[in-house]
């Protein structure tokens, strides 16, 4: 069992930066595939980035490649998403999620993630 709590969202102008955090408690944090997802009003939840167990291989959605960086601090049981050069289309509720290692295989999608946080809102104004 893993409990996830996101923070760091807010309002920013286009071109600005935000860093989201996801604090994990419960089971061994470093054994999970960790992912960031987002959902805009009227749209399906989509994968943004993920990081393999222990902080290994990372994958990104094409729309954020080169602008967002996912990382984790195993000592602090915290997952991060550094978001730079933000665009209006990045506006969404952002969620972190944890799943077994297999969740870090294949397409970057919501499938296979067992635990979800409550989300943190990111609003980018143009």
Sort 34 into a burial class: Cβ within 10 Å, 0-12 / 13-18 / 19+.
buried
Q: For residue 10, what are the CA distances in angstroms to 16, 50, 77, 115? A: 11, 21, 22, 23
**Average of pLDDT values for 3-10?**
98
pLDDT in tens, 68-115: 999 999 999 999 999 999 999 999 999 999 999 999 998 899 999 999
Q: What is the pLDDT of residue 45?
A: 97
Cα–Cα distance measured from residue 2 to residue 70, given in angstroms and rounded to the nearest whole number? 19
> What local confidence, expressed as pLDDT, does residue 27 receive?
78
pLDDT digits (tens, 9 = 90+) for 41-65: 999 999 999 999 988 899 999 999 9
The whole-chain average pLDDT of the chain stands at 95
Alpha carbon distance 64, 53 (integer Å)? 21
Give me the pLDDT at residue 53, please.
94
């Amino acid at each position: 069992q893993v409990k996830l709590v996101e923070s760091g969202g807010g309002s920013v102008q286009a071109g600005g930066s935000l860093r989201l955090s996801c604090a994990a408690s419960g089971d061994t944090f470093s054994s999970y595939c960790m992912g960031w997802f987002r959902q805009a009003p009227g749209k399906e939840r989509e994968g943004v980035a993920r990081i393999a167990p222990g902080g290994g291989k990372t994958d990104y959605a094409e729309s954020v490649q080169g602008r967002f960086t996912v990382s984790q601090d195993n000592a602090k049981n915290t997952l991060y998403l550094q978001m730079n050069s933000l665009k209006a289309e990045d506006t969404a509720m952002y969620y972190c999620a944890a799943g077994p290692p297999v969740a870090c295989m294949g397409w970057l999608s919501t499938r296979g993630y067992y635990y979800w946080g409550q989300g943190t809102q990111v609003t980018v104004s143009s």
